[in-house]
């Protein structure tokens, strides 16, 4: 993997030759599993993941109400979806929620991760509590916060000096604030773990050298820690972007897309279209928009950062 | 090397501790007091009387059944993943056939497919197969979406097995089958436990597939039970929170007894 980019043509040649030699040897042939070993998992995966992904594209050109057989309708779903003001609004809301997630969670999880990477005893104890939100399902997190922020019986009703009328779900700005806050609460521990692992892997000698040169903590952070975390920042950002674009449970349970359609983000709108209005064709079209958007944005992040020319994407995850 | 304490990070960590700890504390306190008291005094006050009614009430409103359904789904998903992934990972690291490396690419691509993107065709597929409102209809897609990460984790673990061991077995004329059972499986226990925890978590916490693929009480899983409880009895907050606590007990137990495997499994969850 690591030598791939630097190897000149002659090196490739010798490697091929080496492989041919080893293929010729007796041991290289014996005990090699054939493709049959991978077949069951592959078939299963194609049926339940790849085929649906292809079908979502096909269904976006069909009309289906959940019963009977889908019927081909050409661009009809697409025309309706792209003309739908709620859909256009949902795209902006999705982008807003995604950007908010990245902007809030990235600095927070870098700071917490770098802090948690230390070896002091109290950090280990505190980290145990820090990571508890990770154990809860998205559903449990959303249900918990819905209860805690209940307009009548929740914390806002008790702390009106801070929350005004106490109904955080009644206005668009505060409802989006709630969504961003709950995602932060839920996902920051995960990204903190990524940065904790990566920060532990930074060679101490870099800090020792910086200390000798008289660099302060701030300069060390910006000139050693951050550049060394580069790969993890990209990994974590891609996960945040894909997660943000597909935000669903939090909206379904916390705001039901409201007030009005003010927090109806695309994934939730897709669910409404398909499973509440039984317009599965439109649902499929929205789903396809989401997949394409997530893929394009991830590819852009990877390209812009030059990540594709670097090491394994699992770097810093262990 | 001695470094002076980082006060800024210290303050930040305390703030975060408060943000995480307070809701969890409020949740636990709410579940042990009568509903009327919670409604009257609000979430931030200390309870005056204690009760276990909320927990027994949660079981009474069907959570026993939901719990059982979730256990069935989780066990089957883990079983399926354990049946499918080890041979796949073995083929990925040892097979010389070109198609196997293409297959690995396919699974890597699968890492990027969000479940939300496929629920419409999945609903079509499952209902045409006659599996709508059937636990099997939840198990199959859930297991399929565990495969990419499991394959990645397990093939990574298997790559750490020294090639000399394979060669030594090959010298003895071992078949792939013997290598798999006597060498690969015993030496990738760490990876296997990560895969088990990862897929169990996915199944236990899964919501989207049960939401669109089941409807009756007899097939409800615990996350869906929470959602329904919230929409139907949203006013009974102590009862609702008791159900939330019950839903996380098994995960909490794993956290206490197998923290390392759990954290590694969680890292595979990928912020879903």
Q: pLDDT, tens digit, for every residue of A227-247? A: 888 888 888 888 888 888 888
User: How would you write the pLDDT of chain A (318 residues) with one tens digit per residue?
Assistant: 333 443 344 444 444 444 444 444 555 566 788 888 889 999 999 999 999 999 999 999 998 888 888 889 888 889 998 899 999 999 999 999 999 999 999 999 998 888 888 766 666 677 777 778 888 889 999 999 998 888 877 787 777 777 777 788 888 888 999 999 999 999 998 898 888 888 888 888 888 888 888 888 888 888 888 888 888 888 888 888 888 888 898 999 999 887 888 999 999 999 999 999 999 999 999 999 988 888 888 788 777 776 555 444 444 443
Neighbours of A268 (CB within 10 A): 25
CB contact under 8 Å between B180 and A193, yes or no, is: no
pLDDT at B142: 95
Chain A contacts of B87, Cβ < 8 Å?
A: 33, 37-38, 40-41
pLDDT at B133: 92
Half-sphere exposure of B193 (CA within 13 A, CB side): 12
Task: Give strand pairing partners of A62.
Answer: A72
- Give the mean pLDDT per block of 10 residues along chain B (272 residues): 60 83 88 80 75 80 89 96 95 86 84 86 92 94 93 88 87 87 89 89 92 92 91 82 89 79 64 36
Å between B179 CA and nearest CA of chain A: 7
CB contact under 8 Å between A314 and B156, yes or no, is: yes
Decide if A265 contacts A90 (C-beta within 8 A).
yes
Give CA–CA dist A141/B244, Å, rounded.
9
Å between A314 CA and nearest CA of chain B: 9
CB contact under 8 Å between A132 and B20, yes or no, is: yes
Show Cβ contacts of residue A140 under 8 Å, excluding neighbours closer than 6 positions.
Answer: B205, B223, B226, B244, B247, B248
Q: Count how many pairs of residues, chain A against chain B, have C-beta atoms within 8 Å.
A: 305
Chain B contacts of A70, Cβ < 8 Å?
A: 124
pLDDT at A307: 56
Task: Write out residues 187-226 of B within 8 Å (CB-CB) of A.
Answer: 204-208, 212, 223-224, 226
Tokens of B197: 């925890």
Å between B264 CA and nearest CA of chain A: 7
pLDDT at B76: 97
CB contact under 8 Å between A40 and B85, yes or no, is: no
Q: How distant, in Å, are the alpha carbons of A49, A141, A213, B77, B204 from that of B138? A: 13, 22, 59, 9, 11
pLDDT at A121: 63
Give CA–CA dist A74/A58, Å, rounded.
10
Q: Residue with structure tokens 């003001």?
A: A85
pTM to 2 decimal places? 0.85
pLDDT at A23: 47
pLDDT at B19: 87
Give the CA angle between residues B228, B231, B236 to the nearest 5°: 100
Which of B196, B197, B85 minimizes the C-alpha distance to B144? B85
Give CA–CA dist B140/B195, Å, rounded.
17
Q: How far apart are the first and last CA of chain B?
A: 38
* Sign of the torsion angle spanned by Cα atoms A247, A248, A252, A257: positive
Please name the member of B10, B92, B244 whose beta carbon is closest to the beta carbon of A144.
B244
Chain A contacts of B255, Cβ < 8 Å?
A: 135
């Amino acid at each position: 993997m690591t030598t791939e980019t630097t190897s000149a043509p002659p090196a490739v040649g010798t490697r091929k030759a080496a492989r041919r030699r080893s293929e010729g040897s007796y041991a290289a042939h014996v005990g090699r599993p054939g493709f049959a070993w991978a077949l069951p998992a592959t078939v299963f995966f194609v049926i339940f993941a790849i085929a649906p992904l292809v079908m979502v594209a096909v269904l976006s050109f069909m009309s289906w109400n959940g019963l009977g057989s889908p019927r081909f309708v050409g661009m009809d779903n697409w025309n309706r979806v792209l003309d739908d003001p709620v859909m256009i609004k949902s795209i902006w809301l999705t982008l807003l929620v995604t950007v908010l997630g990245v902007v809030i969670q990235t600095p927070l999880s870098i700071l917490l991760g770098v802090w948690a990477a230390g070896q002091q005893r109290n950090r280990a104890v505190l980290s145990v509590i820090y990571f508890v939100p990770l154990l809860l399902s998205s559903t449990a997190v959303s249900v918990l916060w819905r209860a805690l922020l209940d307009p009548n019986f929740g914390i806002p009703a008790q702390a009106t000096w801070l929350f005004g009328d106490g109904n955080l779900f009644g206005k668009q700005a505060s409802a989006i604030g709630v969504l961003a806050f709950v995602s932060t609460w839920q996902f920051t521990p995960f990204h903190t773990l990524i940065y904790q692992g990566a920060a532990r892997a930074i060679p101490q000698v870099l800090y020792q050298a910086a200390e000798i040169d008289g660099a302060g903590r701030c300069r060390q952070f910006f000139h050693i820690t951050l550049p060394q975390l580069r790969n993890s920042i990209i990994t974590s950002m891609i996960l945040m972007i894909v997660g943000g674009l597909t935000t669903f449970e939090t909206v379904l349970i916390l705001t039901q897309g409201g007030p009005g359609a003010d927090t109806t983000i695309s994934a939730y709108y897709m669910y409404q279209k398909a499973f509440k209005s039984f317009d599965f064709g439109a649902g499929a079209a929205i789903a396809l928009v989401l997949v394409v958007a997530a893929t394009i944005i991830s590819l852009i992040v990877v390209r812009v950062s030059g990540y594709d020319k670097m090491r394994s994407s699992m770097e810093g995850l262990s | 090397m001695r470094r002076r304490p980082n006060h800024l990070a210290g303050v930040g960590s305390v703030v975060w501790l408060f943000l995480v700890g307070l809701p969890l504390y409020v949740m636990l306190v709410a579940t042990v007091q009568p509903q009327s008291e919670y409604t009257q005094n609000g979430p931030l006050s200390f309870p005056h009387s204690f009760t276990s009614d909320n927990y027994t009430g949660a079981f009474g409103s069907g959570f026993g059944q939901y719990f059982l359904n979730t256990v069935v789904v989780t066990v089957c998903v883990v079983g399926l993943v354990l049946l499918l992934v080890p041979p796949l990972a073995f083929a990925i690291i040892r097979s010389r056939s070109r198609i196997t490396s293409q297959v690995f690419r396919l699974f890597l691509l699968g890492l990027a497919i969000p479940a939300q993107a496929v629920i419409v065709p999945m609903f079509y597929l499952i209902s045409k197969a006659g599996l709508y409102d059937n636990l099997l209809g939840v198990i199959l897609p859930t297991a399929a979406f565990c495969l990419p990460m499991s394959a990645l984790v397990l093939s990574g673990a298997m790559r750490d097995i020294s090639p000399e061991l394979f060669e030594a077995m090959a010298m003895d004329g071992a078949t792939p089958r013997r290598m798999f059972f006597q060498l690969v499986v015993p030496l990738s226990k760490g990876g296997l436990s990560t895969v088990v925890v990862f897929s169990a978590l996915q199944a236990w916490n899964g919501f989207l597939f049960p939401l669109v693929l089941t409807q009756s009480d007899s097939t409800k899983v615990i996350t869906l039970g929470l959602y329904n409880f919230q929409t139907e009895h949203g006013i009974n907050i102590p009862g609702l929170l008791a159900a939330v606590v019950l839903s996380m007990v098994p995960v909490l137990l794993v956290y206490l007894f197998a923290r390392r495997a759990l954290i590694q499994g969680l890292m595979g969850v990928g912020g879903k």
